[in-house]
Structure 1
């Protein structure tokens, strides 16, 4: 199971960020490479693309992936997508929420999925709260989602039990 961690712009901009991360990773040698993913807000990543790109490359050498969080809400640009080697793009929930009734939001998601495919990136749709949203995203080719429809936030010590007992996408919506 992969773990994603949101990291603030302030912490990413520290000169010793890579050294701190390396020291922390060395404390857990059993952690498989690339099972840790750092999520950074799109707007944070775009503030200084060349520095962020270098940081991402250094972290990838250590076996850590990056995700662009809230994609589409900042100043999305093909140039940034090309030069910022984040493995994952997370579609912001503001597009997912209304995609069933707003064809512009649906078109944005479809466009992001196509761009991600061209740039060989993974996509995760945020804010999936209903079976209808999940099914529409799956139909568009988005197989990774997150949101209250999957699970509510939970303490780390409850994750293993949740994984063992999860019955699929329909289970969380049974009360609807």
Structure 2
């Protein structure tokens, strides 16, 4: 795999990890506020949670969910059925791997196409989060980029000589 693509895939996964950390941090803060509110109510006080917490988490997870796929593909960390395939000849195993990589490219591009249509629809409908009012369509972009990157990684693996 080209070094530049490897760098992009690793950086993309790192960005996904940072966003995941932010999701956990915001969830922890909101949970602590919920607990603090229960205690404060005993004294007639109130502690508010984070406004728009659910909006942020929903939108961030929708972006992060696919961002790990290219890195996982690069590491060949995807689900593999080795229980019965390891008994096949090396030639058959290579053939199966090639078919699976080709299907992966097709599936990733198919999903990218439909996500692009979904993003266009969200943009045209002015879809936004209920509390924060953030537009939904920009949160499709990381998923679409991730799907294209996933397809490129699988394509590079497919082009590689066995």
**Shorter chain as normaliser: what TM range?**
under 0.3
What is the TM-score normalised by the length of structure 1?
Answer: 0.23
Greater relative contact order (Cα < 8 A, sep 6+) = 2
- Flag the structure with higher helix content: 2
What is the TM-score normalised by the length of structure 2?
Answer: 0.25
Larger radius of gyration: 2
- Flag the structure with higher strand content: 1
